[in-house]
Amino acid sequence: MNWSHVALNCARVSATEDFYTRWFGFERANSFVLGDLQIVFIRLGESYLELFGPADESTAVDSPAATPTADGPQQRGTARHIAFQTDDVDGLLERLGDQARITLGPLDFSEYIEGWRSVWLTDPDGIVVEVSQGYKDAS
């Protein structure tokens, strides 16, 4: 068994695809229109995000994204956040500039793992995205 993907509902697939390709290095792997729905797969290594949105983005209705708690929704049956690793949290935040919609952090967890830092931000649709540096599995 291999991990496949996480599917995200998007107000505008183009904005969400741009966010993950520009800032996280994803590349488009596939796309198609299925009725009124646009589906785009983007890939980073062996990981995929599947983006769902209206085929005609000019008819998209932007509904306000739910206000997440700092590190994501905490109700049972929902995903709390998606997460990525980087070598430099501060460098990523600098590149993001005013596009970084930070909900929490950056926080330092060196008390648990030396050099471990994380920040939480949101994508264009309000999905909470954690970005960490320095996390290591227990030996």
Task: Tell which residue, 24, 29, 28, has the closest CA to residue 14.
Answer: 28
Q: What is the mean pLDDT of residues 27-34?
A: 92
Backbone torsion region of residue 34, taken as left when φ is above 0, otherwise alpha when ψ lies between -120 and 50, otherwise beta? beta
Average pLDDT score over the chain: 87
pLDDT tens by residue, 44-98: 999 999 998 888 887 766 655 555 567 777 676 678 889 999 999 999 999 999 9
**pLDDT over 90, % of the chain:** 58
Kindly indicate whether the domain formed by 5-56 is annotated with CATH number 3.40.190.10. no
In the chain, domain spans: 5-56, 82-133
> Distance (Å, rounded) from C-alpha 47 to C-alpha 32?
19
Choosing among 3.40.50.970, 3.30.2350.10, 3.10.180.10, 1.10.3720.10, the CATH entry for 82-133 is 3.10.180.10
pLDDT tier for residue 10 given thresholds of 50, 70 and 90: confident
What is the predicted pLDDT for the residue at 64? 52
Q: What is the token pair recorded at 21? A: 């390709």
The set of residues, in sequence order, having a beta carbon less than 8 Å from that of 60 and lying 6+ positions away, is 11, 12, 53, 54
pLDDT value of position 139: 75
